């Protein structure tokens, strides 16, 4: 039996759909009952994720837990102490789940963390590796790092196998945030001042991340390891926008504005963080993932973009 937490999120729903195609017993942990889950998938409501969540019913007969539920980035966080709020869910909630899982005899827990544990940027041409010293930079990534530490300690104490996956930006049908907004803008053939950015960023298609998670469910080499994941092709922001435009069949109208002017405008608007994400580099090395697991990304960047467009055409959506 495989338990998936966060089963209604972007990654969770795609993972449950993928697992439901096989002859596997799957249980989806959800916060509320008004959720759509594929036929044949068991449901269990657990409520909010924190230090005293009762997982006993959800964990019954479970062999592997894939833990996706989390408090994620909140762009306009109104909490007076964001780090405390992140720790309540992402650290205390995760360790509580893992401790109960170990007690009941669960064999393996797969924890989807964040590349933010490594840091928020790399020098062009340099890459993060899974074994680098962590440098979390904000409340969210700090909480993810602390959760990883708690899981490692619990694994050493109990024998629970822990697998940690740190993805960079995940894109796919329904992806929220800046990626979705860029697809929407390009779909409308609106101009963007992003035609002269020469950074490099690693991304991961939703289907590639799901495939790695599935690989880690039973692979013996995954036990107690940390893996980075990407599509295996790093792109500049300008290249990425051209690829999205090609998938949409729309010309990407990119104006070559110097980065210095973009940075100046971002400072004036109080959005320096947006410029960093658009203009900065963040590259990951997935050599360990490929060699230890014999894994390669099953789809290319272009195929990942094509699937986004195909999903939009089927739903009639104008934006993901």
Residues 58, 310: Cα–Cα separation, whole Å: 35
For residues 203 and 283, give the distance between their C-alpha atoms in angstroms, rounded to a whole number. 9
* Residue spans of alpha helices (H) in 56-199: 56-59, 82-86, 94-104, 139-158, 177-187
Among 230, 205, 212, residue whose Cα is nearest residue 110: 212
CB-count burial class (<10 Å; 0-12, 13-18, 19+) for 54 = exposed
- 140 tagged catalytic: yes
Distance CA 43, CA 83 (A): 31
At 146, is the secondary structure helix, strand, or coil?
helix
Q: What span, in angstroms and rounded, lies between the C-alpha atoms of 2 and 168?
A: 25
Please answer whether residues 87 and 131 qualify as being in contact, where contact means their C-beta atoms are separated by less than 8 angstroms: no
User: 4-28 burial, b for 16+ CB within 10 Å, e for fewer?
Assistant: bbbbbbbbbbbbbebbeeeeeebbb
Task: Name the active-site residue from 55, 128, 140, 227.
Answer: 140
Instruction: Please say whether the beta carbons of 114 and 170 come within 8 A.
Output: no
d(CA 183, CA 161): 39
Contact 206, 229 (CB under 8 A): no
Q: Report d(CA 213, CA 66) in Å as an integer.
A: 8
**How far is the C-alpha of 126 from the C-alpha of 238, rounded, in Å?**
19
Catalytic residues: 140
């Amino acid at each position: 039996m495989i338990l998936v937490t966060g089963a209604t999120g972007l990654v969770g729903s795609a993972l449950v759909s993928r697992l439901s195609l096989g002859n596997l017993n799957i249980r989806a942990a959800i916060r509320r009952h008004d959720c759509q889950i594929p036929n044949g998938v068991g449901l269990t409501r657990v409520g909010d994720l924190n230090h005293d969540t009762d997982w006993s019913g959800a964990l019954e007969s479970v062999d592997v837990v894939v833990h996706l539920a989390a408090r994620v980035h909140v762009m306009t966080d109104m909490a007076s102490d964001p780090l405390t709020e992140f720790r309540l869910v992402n650290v205390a909630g995760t360790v509580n789940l893992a401790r109960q899982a170990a007690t009941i005899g669960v064999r393996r827990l797969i924890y989807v963390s964040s590349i933010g544990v490594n840091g928020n940027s790399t020098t062009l041409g340099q890459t993060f590796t899974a074994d680098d010293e962590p440098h979390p930079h904000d409340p969210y990534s700090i909480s993810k790092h602390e959760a990883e530490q708690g899981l490692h300690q619990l694994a050493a104490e109990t024998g629970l196998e822990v697998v940690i996956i740190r993805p960079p930006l995940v894109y796919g049908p329904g992806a929220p945030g800046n990626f979705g907004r860029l697809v929407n803008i390009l779909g409308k053939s609106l101009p963007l001042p992003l035609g002269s950015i020469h950074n490099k960023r690693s991304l991961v298609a939703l289907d590639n991340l799901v495939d790695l998670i599935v690989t880690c469910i039973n692979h013996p080499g995954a036990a107690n390891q940390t893996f980075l994941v990407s599509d295996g092709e790093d792109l500049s922001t300008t290249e990425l926008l051209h690829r999205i435009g090609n998938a949409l069949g729309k010309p990407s109208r990119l104006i070559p504005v110097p980065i210095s002017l973009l940075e100046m405008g971002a400072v004036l608007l109080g959005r320096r963080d947006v410029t960093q994400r658009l203009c900065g580099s963040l590259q990951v090395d997935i050599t360990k993932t490929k060699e230890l697991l014999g894994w390669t990304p099953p789809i290319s960047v272009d195929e990942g973009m094509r699937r986004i467009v195909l999903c939009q055409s089927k739903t009639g959506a104008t934006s993901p």
